[in-house]
Amino acid sequence: MTARKSTSTPAGAVVRNVIYDRIQRAVLEHRLPPGTKLAEDRLAVLFDTSRAQVRDVLGRLANEGVVCTIPNRGAFIASPTPEETRDIFEARRLIEPALVRRFVALRDTEALGRLRALVKEEEDARARKDRPAMVRLSGEFHMRLADYAGNRTLARTIRGLATLTCLAIFLYDAPHSTSCREDEHEQLLSAMSRRRADRAAELMLEHLHHIEHSLALDVPREQMVDLAQALLG
């Protein structure tokens, strides 16, 4: 009996990764706001691929909570409610201090250097008042730290939670809420580089608390977006 050939080609995987990365980056940079409809046919045209490929990507994003699917209406970028936003931060407070401790225990100086370079990029974006880059790099700091801590399951979880946090910041942005406070990632790096795991975990909790309490969880704002400009511009 001849084995059935896989329909998932390397080229197809590359296309799916490109679509996934473009959508996630657009969300992290606040170019793709909550509630945006992700029409399969429109995305297939934009990325010159099939609807099946797009459907796979939307399913992956739905598993991470970044996309919600409504029967007979389609897929939309998630719009966290105030209660869901509080749940997101509660989950992050439970997970990220533990990831910080894992990272410190690994004593990975190379990974620490990469995080330091990322914080420098964040500082440069803040200096030139590039808000989209500031928000994206702030989220990426937490994603990279989770990756480097060495637990793939928790890293995937944090990737979804950090992206949902960016959506919540978009929805409930208070005037003083731009991204993480400018010195807090540097303080975390300092504690981790000195292998002060308890202090680093404490700083992570304070950091997440500051982000959550900078939000105005009352009336969300709305914004229309051009899908092509958000993903390909």
- Listed by start position, the domains of the chain span 10-78, 82-213
Class of domain 10-78: mainly alpha
| pLDDT the model gives residue 122 | 93
| pLDDT the model gives residue 182 | 73
Mean pLDDT by 10 residues, the chain (233 residues): 48 90 92 92 94 95 93 93 96 97 96 96 92 89 96 94 92 62 89 97 96 82 65 72
CA distance 195 to 112: 11
Query: Domain 82-213 in CATH: superfamily?
Result: GntR ligand-binding domain-like (1.20.120.530)
Encoded amino acid at 23, one letter: I
| pLDDT the model gives residue 229 | 66
| pLDDT the model gives residue 131 | 85
| pLDDT the model gives residue 231 | 76
DSSP string, 17-73: HHHHHHHHHHHHTTSS-TT-B--HHHHHHHTTS-HHHHHHHHHHHHHTTSEEEETTT
| pLDDT the model gives residue 5 | 42
CA distance 83 to 101: 28
Sign of CA dihedral 42, 43, 48, 50: negative
Which pTM value belongs to this model? 0.83
